[in-house]
Structure 1
């Protein structure tokens, strides 16, 4: 914010209700010409600007190139009224500038209509001093939405959409807000997603908030972007990490690695105020903090406590079941031992329960069991060619292989084939509860293909394979992620009824 030089012409030839004659004075002719001949990106032909009627339309260069001027439209009476202060009956003061305007036009705004029709102090004032309640509003956005009250149209470049949205929200201009919403929908990317998300929260744009949240769930793990991580605050990161829809690259351990990097960036930005001089390896930062902690785990220290709610969303049961990952957790000394002791106990009891009761797996799936408990993992297909993979530590030697072949995704139980480094379970039949998602992202992170199943319970015998998804006749695009959610946690070990639950809160 700050003072911006005014583009308002304060004194012109007083011809209020009719267009100026062809032979008007020199100052008036310059004013009209300056308003009529505009660059293409400001014209009504929608250049790089996406409007509510023409979302995402790209700029077309004129004969002289992208900077060529386009034929101007005739100025309307409303245009001329906004450009001159004749017959003005109210003066708006803001940003150390003055706008000489007309109540009849301002009342097209819900904000001014209420101001001028109620028992407010400003109702009968001829000069109104306005203090902007929102720091997102600047002089230019305020000027443009005032112009909309006269012209009934506004051009909004994506780089100005948040400022325009803020000004339109203050003045209660629903049409401009809807236009901002359309522009935001079509321009979500790594540079804009967090700004749009926070703005959607402030101004109540539920659809934009949902789109940005989904973009982050799809891209947080797939794009290692330090600037993006820096923009994600604690509340948003907590929500993302808690979601079963998070596209986890490989396994849950990768979520921990991403969180560690995010916390490192947040701490270093707080202490240095910039990214300059950041250590290339984030664990060195924690070693620095740990040296002053008297041996306490980092999340128990003063600087780490703020991050506790986020790290509590980690699904530790799927990290400690892989020995190399469990070793890294112990070495880092970020997560308190009390957290891990509880998880190790649950895993040990689950192992005993499975070995002694010889259960085949989950019999029923309940929504309350699914939320927050599934194992999240994925594999990436770079081209339409055969591939198979598995993930370490799944369900105590649950020898499951996921295969992609002939546009089909197949689950195979490879009990007699150990080429994938799998353990072998001797149960002749196993059951698994799963959900499968197939996602393709373009260069901006937008999902160009998405297909997903509900949760299903699948029964497999030794070396049996079953197709779970067919992509034939689907507009698939590569690279493509195959993401799985498996229900993993053991049944209630204290239960004597023998009834098996697939997961617990």
Structure 2
């Protein structure tokens, strides 16, 4: 009996256990079902997005490419486009045509005479197509033609997009062309970008490409040479040398060759001239006079070798140089007599009008030391760059020609230094500037004038430096 009792208890326990287990499974199943129903409800209430055929793409294909339901045909450059007045009216050009008393407002075919050589069938197709779609794809090679068409049809958003593309693609091969395009179509941002690029690269990059240097017009070159922010590599005389190379290229449009050959050919041309008059006074040279006239002539005559070259080249009239000699002689007398110890207070306009322009290319982040040679009114200024971005100016008091050094205890110097880094297209990456500053230097004293931000320091660095070591005088011309 005890055994039967034990079996009964065991069976009862198993039954109870199974019952409880089934209950738990049922409860779990019910819980899972509730979770499943909740998840299903969430899924049903969740909005999902799937892009079907774009309305814009459909309109572009059926109405523009296929010309369905067209109510006007535009004919230009021997090609016709079956278009729609409602779409064309997004352009102020066509909106005015369709809403006014023009005969085209009721015609089913409109002929447009295209005289701009930049406008092509491709650019017209892109331009018209943009009126049927909410996006456009262009490359830099198409931008000028599309800009020309957009300008004609007064499509400002499209013209702005072309401007953005052109600005991104400014290089030595495109800068002048884009600049001229910007002027023609009123693209002010492109004009500014191209001009700034040329002012940065004219003397250290463009001159290495004779065919590109030749493209620069007299008007543009004049504006560049007189620009306060022109990056001058070496000294003012380097600008003169660049100008005579450029003038040779403009006078000889068929000439081609490397930069070294360009220098040789230019000198041969000048040496073989038979006229006694300076080149700028002749019929062929007169058009270039404006560009040479904006040179800072006072700073062309500070080295005997430079003066000798000016004399032998016979480009600039003596009357122009005589004024420079007069100005420099008067300044020298004032310094030698102790009347002038340098500028004190001067506004930026007068500073840039009278300062010496110079510059240098720093290729590596290592120690550099240099000076710009030439007569500097008793000052031997030595520039230095120390690794890490520190730029100093020293008033050197020891020289082989110590008699030429000013004995004044202190001298005032005004300066501006701009340091710029560029990318592979020679476009500006970073720029740091001191602004116009005044410093007083004792003999043998050096001062830190600029510390470059190490986070912005990428080599090479282009240094543009403006100096003024004497006070402007009333006789300055």
TM-score, normalised to structure 2, is 0.83
Within 1, Cα distance between the matches of 2:167 and 2:400? 46
Question: How far off is 1:403 after superposition?
Answer: 0.9
The SS at the match of 1:260 is helix
In structure 1, the residue matched to 2:33 is none
Q: Which residue of 2 aligns with 1:39?
A: none
Q: Which structure features the higher share of helix residues?
A: 2
Work out whether 1:103 is the aligned partner of 2:89: no
Match for residue 105 of structure 2 among 117, 123, 128: 123
Counterpart selection for 1:348 from 329, 349, 366: 329
Per-residue CA deviation, residues 240-296 of structure 1 (Å, 9 max, x unaligned), is: 000121111111111011101100000001xx4x648986521222334x22x3x11
* Superposed displacement of residue 424, structure 1: 2.1
Task: Identify the residue that residue 395 of structure 1 maps to in structure 2.
Answer: 376
User: Per-residue deviation at 1:199?
Assistant: 1.5
**1:253 paired to 2:214:** no
2:343–2:469 Cα contact (<8 Å) kept: no
Matched, 1:87 2:77: no
Which one of 318, 341, 346 corresponds to residue 365 of structure 1?
346
- Distance change >3 Å, CA 139–CA 405, structure 1 → 2: same
Aligned match for 1:454, one of 422, 426, 435: 435
Q: CA deviation at 1:387?
A: 1.1
Write out per-residue CA displacement over residues 87-128 of structure 1, whole angstroms, 9 at most, x where no aligned residue: 222111111121122111111211111100011121111111
Q: 1:209 to 1:488 in 2, by over 3 A?
A: farther
Query: In structure 2, how many angstroms separate the alpha carbons of the residues matched to 1:385 and 1:394?
Result: 28
Question: How far, CA to CA, are the matches of 1:193 and 1:78 in structure 2?
Answer: 34
- Mapped to 1, the partners of 2:123 and 2:236 lie a distance apart of 44
Q: Are the counterparts in 1 of residues 124 and 146 from structure 2 also a CA contact under 8 Å?
A: yes
How far the C-alpha of 1:488 sits from its partner, in A, is 4.7
Deviation at 1:73, TM superposition (A): 7.4
- Residue 299 (structure 1) aligned with residue 280 (structure 2): yes
Q: Equivalences for 1:96-175 in 2 at 5 Å? A: 96-175=78-157
Contact 1:136 1:162 in 2 (8 A): yes
How far off is 1:207 after superposition? 1.7
Q: How far has the Cα of 1:318 moved from its partner?
A: 1.1
Match of 2:358 among 371, 374, 377: 377
Distance (whole Å) between structure 2 residues aligned to residue 353 and residue 392 of structure 1: 21
Corresponding position of 1:440: 421
Does residue 267 of the first structure (1) align with residue 248 of the second (2)?
no
Q: Is the Cα contact below 8 Å between 1:90 and 1:126 reproduced in 2?
A: yes
Give 1:423 deviation, angstroms: 4.5
Structure 2 equivalent of residue 405 of structure 1: 386
Aligned equivalents of 1:169 and 1:484: distance in 2? 40
Q: Residue 192 of structure 1 is aligned with which of 174, 179, 189? A: 174
Matched, 1:336 2:320: no
> What do you get for the CA RMSD once the two structures are aligned?
2.3
- Unaligned regions of 5+ residues in structure 2, if any? 1-52
Query: Number of matched residues?
Result: 419
> Are the counterparts in 1 of residues 77 and 121 from structure 2 also a CA contact under 8 Å?
yes
Query: Comparing 480-489 with 374-383, which one deviates more in the overlay?
Result: 480-489
Q: Which of the two has higher C-alpha Rg?
A: 2
Pairwise CA distance, 1:474: 3.4
Residue in structure 1 matching 2:224, options 219, 240, 245: 240
Offset, 1:360 = 1.6
Indicate yes or no: 2:307 matched with 1:326: yes
Distance 2:371 2:212 in 1: 30
For 1:435 and 1:422, the matched residues in 2 are separated by: 29
1:115-158 Cα deviation digits (max 9, x unpaired): 00011121111111101242221111011111111123221110
* Deviation (angstroms), 1:227: 1.9
Distance 2:165 2:200 in 1: 21
Residue equivalent to 2:22: none
Native 8 Å contact 2:379 2:396 kept in 1: no
Secondary structure of 2:252 counterpart: helix
Q: 2:212 aligns with which of 228, 234, 242?
A: 228
> Residues 162-183 of structure 1, C-alpha deviation per residue, up to 9 Å, x if partnerless?
1111111111212211211221
CA distance in 2, matches of 1:401, 1:91: 72
Give the Cα separation in 1 of the matches to 2:368 and 2:400: 14
Q: Distance in 2 between matches of 1:73 and 1:366?
A: 61
Q: 1:347 to 1:420 in 2, by over 3 A?
A: closer
**TM score, norm. by length of structure 1:** 0.79
Shift of 1:221: 0.1
